[in-house]
Amino acid sequence: MSANANLFSPFQLGPYTLPNRIVMAPLTRNRAGNGNVPTALNATYYVQRASAGLIIAEATQVTPSGQGYPATPGIHSPEQVEGWKLVTEAVHNHGGRIFLQLWHVGRISHPSLQPDGALPVAPSAIVPAEGTASTYEGSKPYVTPRALEIDELPGIVEQYRQGAANALAAGFDGVEIHGANGYLLDQFLRDGTNKRTDAYGGSIENRARLLLEVTAAVVDVWGADRVGVRLSPSSTFNSMSDSDPKATFSYAIEALNQFGLAYLHLLEPSEADARHGGALIPTSYFRPIFKGTLMTNWDYDRDKANAAIASGDADLVSFGKLFIANPDLPERFRINASLNAPDPSTFYGGGEQGYIDYPALELQTR
């Protein structure tokens, strides 16, 4: 228990001593350069946020076919590794720690983003019921993905292993496996998107198999104490559903205990999940199941986050939109300063505006 702990209590995360428990959540900003290579602009953005206890860098495709949106960075080419070095070196020079979120979007893509205009891949050939694909030519209807053959799955695991190895070469401090928000690993985990009849579908054990194989491969590269996993048990985003989310995610989380991971990162249920008839399971439900560090996220503010840590419901709290708008969020929380409001119109794509021009406190009061 951590009765006296709060956002400013240091935390030992694997080999790293975090100066605070205020984590920057992974945030796709669609501002990678040509070839989906990170640039000096991206380095500036992350450096501005280096006072976070930990930065989890934006979702980053481990392979070209894992891309689902324009200008998202990759970690599969030598140029991308060099680009990420700009980011990791700059963050380290400013005293920060940075993990990379490893991503494959599965069906949340479009042939125009795929090598050779291929169909996106997924556990089963089921088109997302709602929403549209984001392409370089604007929004387009989703296409029905191609179901992966069972003999292709070792190749998918290998793509994550290679992405993890590339992240190590790029100077990151660790990696987070993106198992949340309706992307490939989540598509395998939940039975709304996984109708397979082989060893990767049907039972919960089978549906969790790819997540666990990927985790084993990534842990093999990094050691478990520098690997986190993100899951979203209640999320209906990207047309996700499961017939028994408590059972599905309890099994997956219990199975993740075998690795001794750096952390498990869970999303709380949201209002959108409630509107879509989601299961609305609070992350605290899974607290007794996971035998390790738990990070929670979604709509937290300073007081709610302090309460979650003090009650022992979570060890770490990540902040998304507040970190977009407040590069110095820890200092603002420390002195309970007012916060800049995020501008959703500049979240996805564009240049410096809405990216590196949110003012820090001292600039405002000078």
Ligand X SMILES: Cc1cc2nc3c(=O)[nH]c(=O)nc-3n(C[C@H](O)[C@H](O)[C@H](O)COP(=O)(O)O)c2cc1C
Position 165: which residue type? A
Should residue 25 be labelled a site residue for ligand X when binding is judged by CB under 6 A?
Answer: yes
Should residue 239 be labelled a site residue for ligand X when binding is judged by CB under 6 A?
Answer: no
Give the residue, chosen from 28, 88, 293, 346, that forms a contact with ligand X under the rule CB under 6 A: 28
Should residue 234 be labelled a site residue for ligand X when binding is judged by CB under 6 A?
Answer: no
Catalytic, out of 69, 142, 183, 355: 183
Tokens of 132: 């549209």
Q: Which positions ≥6 away from 112 have C-beta within 8 Å? A: 135, 136, 137, 140
Query: Which CB, 140 or 321, lies closer to ligand X?
Result: 321
Contact 279, 247 (CB under 8 A): no
Q: Which residues pair with 296 in a beta bridge?
A: 266, 317
Q: Which positions ≥6 away from 250 have C-beta within 8 Å? A: 286, 289
Pick out residues in 37-66 that bind ligand X (CB under 6 A). 58-59
Supply the minimum distance, in Å, between the C-beta of residue 232 and ligand X.
8
Supply the minimum distance, in Å, between the C-beta of residue 197 and ligand X.
30
Query: Which CB, 290 or 300, lies closer to ligand X?
Result: 300
Phi/psi of residue 116, nearest 5 degrees: 60, 25
| CA distance linking residue 237 with residue 230, whole number of Å | 14
Alpha helices in the chain (DSSP H): 40-48, 78-93, 153-169, 184-189, 204-207, 209-222, 245-256, 271-275, 302-311, 321-325, 329-334, 361-365
Query: Which CB, 154 or 351, lies closer to ligand X?
Result: 351
Phi/psi of residue 180, nearest 5 degrees: -115, 180
Query: Which CB, 196 or 286, lies closer to ligand X?
Result: 286
Supply the minimum distance, in Å, between the C-beta of residue 357 and ligand X.
16
Q: Pattern 74-93, binding to ligand X, x per CB under 6 A?
A: --------------------
Should residue 134 be labelled a site residue for ligand X when binding is judged by CB under 6 A?
Answer: no
Pick out residues in 272-331 that bind ligand X (CB under 6 A). 297-300, 319-322
Position 175: which residue type? V
Strands 54-61 and 133-135: unpaired
Query: Which CB, 191 or 273, lies closer to ligand X?
Result: 273
Supply the minimum distance, in Å, between the C-beta of residue 26 and ligand X.
4
| Stretch of residues binding ligand X (CB under 6 A), selected from 21-29, 35-43, 146-154, 167-175 | 21-29
Should residue 98 be labelled a site residue for ligand X when binding is judged by CB under 6 A?
Answer: no
Is 200 a known active-site residue? no
Q: Pattern 147-186, binding to ligand X, x per CB under 6 A?
A: -------------------------------x-xx-----
For 262-285, the DSSP string reads SEEEEEPP-HHHHHTT-----GGG
Supply the minimum distance, in Å, between the C-beta of residue 198 and ligand X.
28
Should residue 7 be labelled a site residue for ligand X when binding is judged by CB under 6 A?
Answer: no
Contact 32, 103 (CB under 8 A): no
Position 174: which residue type? G
| CA distance linking residue 203 with residue 164, whole number of Å | 28
Should residue 238 be labelled a site residue for ligand X when binding is judged by CB under 6 A?
Answer: no
What is the 3 state secondary structure string of 116-139? HHCCCEECCCCCCCCCCEEECCEE
| Stretch of residues binding ligand X (CB under 6 A), selected from 20-28, 153-161, 217-225, 354-362 | 20-28
Nearest of 256, 228, 231, 255 to residue 242 by alpha carbon: 231
Supply the minimum distance, in Å, between the C-beta of residue 162 and ligand X.
20
Residue with smallest beta-carbon separation from ligand X: 320
Supply the minimum distance, in Å, between the C-beta of residue 219 and ligand X.
19
Q: Pattern 187-206, binding to ligand X, x per CB under 6 A?
A: --------------------
Catalytic residues: 183
Binding site for ligand X (CB under 6 A): 25-28, 58-59, 101, 178, 180-181, 230, 267, 297-300, 319-322, 347
